[in-house]
Amino acid sequence: MRLVDILHMNSGSGDSNSSYANNSLFTKIVMQKAAPLVKRTIKGMANQDKFFDRCFMIADLGCSSGMNTLLLASDIIKTVHEACQENNRKTPQFQVCLNDLFGNDFNNLFKLLPNFYKTLRKDMGEKFGSCFVSAFPGSFYERLFPNESLHLVHSSYSVHWLSQVPEGLENNKQNIYIAKTSPLDVLQAYGKQFQTDFTKFLQLRSEELVHDGRMVIVFQSRSSLDPTNDECSTLWELLTMSLLELLKEGLVLESDINSFNLPFYFPHGDELRRIIEEDGSFSLDDMDIFEVDWDQHDIECNNRGKKTTKSIRAVTETLFTSHFGNSIIDMLFKKFEKKLADYLATKKTRHLCVVISLIKK
């Protein structure tokens, strides 16, 4: 089965314990830290009539579901409104285009829209104008929008997902991602797949953005050129150890573990610069780098490992289920939570994030 048909964040809301909507505090923290660059990008567009003269077209790629999605849209709209006021311009109408794969829980987003519109009118005033929100399901490694139809593209913690599991990972035995024991050709295969996918992503978006249109992308990144360093591999090595325990207990097959690899890649900032420069569709206008404690929400609720485990499960469960079946999932993440709690008791761990602002040439 194709990855595009499997991958989606866990759906649901309310009392859905493992839903992405209820376990996305970490990505909200990342969005908040990336917000200053988003605002700088929008303010840099304010002196050009073509952006704000009619309807300002925004696309959020890999939007997932839950309040984070609409919070981002609201922040962008308010920043455009402020920029227009500062430059004595009339605030335009807005079209917000929400994109994710076909299995995404768009219905949960739609249920949030009445309150989103109500809050927007309250915050911006009745004379604010119109805002239209639509869903555009599909892979962002394919065309999504008409030629030169977008003014601003945003994507947070999504473009590290690859279009497919890299080829040539047969030697990555008893690993589910890049690990310290992975052969060099496995590391190279992941890096090659990311370069292919990100180059295609840039080329597709360059067709959909107007000239001088902007694109802001937030990545999980790494500080080391070595993709096997702890900040990238620890979580997934702990998950691998949990799977290997299930193997010893006779609950999974070794062949199933050896044939399973996670389809994402966390690029170094130098890789991003090189790919952007080699592709040539965009110029790199701005870049911020910041760190986030990936157990910060565990610390806040005084329960190390539990919240992080729920977040990881919300993001990856569909992949594990499609390959290993439903029966082991609860046991797998219970083991993972215990290993993660033990690890966090002695180690301080952080994610490095990179946010870039691009201008279409």
Structure tokens at 229: 């360093």
Torsion of CA 128, 130, 135, 138, to 10 degrees: -90
3-state DSSP call for residue 307?
helix
End-to-end CA separation in angstroms for the chain: 37
Q: Which domain holds residue 32?
A: 3-360
| Band (294; pLDDT cuts 50, 70, 90) | low
Torsion of CA 262, 197, 233, 63, to 10 degrees: -80
Query: How many angstroms separate the CA atoms of 46 and 323, rounded?
Result: 48
pLDDT at residue 230 in the model:
76
pLDDT at 94 over 90: yes
Beta-bridge partner residues of 172? none
Query: What does the H/E/C string look like for 137-204?
Result: CCCCCCCCCCCCCEEEEEEECCCCECCCCCCCCCCCCCCCCCCCCCCHHHHHHHHHHHHHHHHHHHHH
CATH number (domain holding residue 352): 3.40.50.150
Give the 3-state secondary structure percentages of the chain, helix then strand then coil, rounded to 5.
45, 20, 35
3-state DSSP call for residue 360?
strand
pLDDT at 20 over 50: no
pLDDT at 192 over 70: yes
**Strand extents, DSSP E, 252-295:** 282-293
| % the chain with pLDDT above 70 | 89
pTM of the complete model: 0.89
Question: What's the mean pLDDT when you consider all of the chain?
Answer: 86
Q: What is the mean pLDDT of residues 203-218?
A: 96
Structure tokens at 114: 């009445």
3-state DSSP call for residue 133?
strand
Q: What is the mean pLDDT of residues 129-142?
A: 92
| Band (8; pLDDT cuts 50, 70, 90) | very low
Tally of domains within the chain: 1
Q: Which of 273, 266, 166, 274 is nearest to 226 (CA)?
A: 266
pLDDT at 301 over 60: no
Pairing relation of β-strands 282-293 and 350-360?
A: antiparallel
Q: Which residue has the higher pLDDT, 251 or 4?
A: 251
pLDDT at residue 271 in the model:
95
CA triplet 188, 192, 194: central angle to 5 degrees? 120
Integer angstrom CA distances of residue 222 from 54, 55, 88, 192, 280:
40, 37, 42, 17, 24
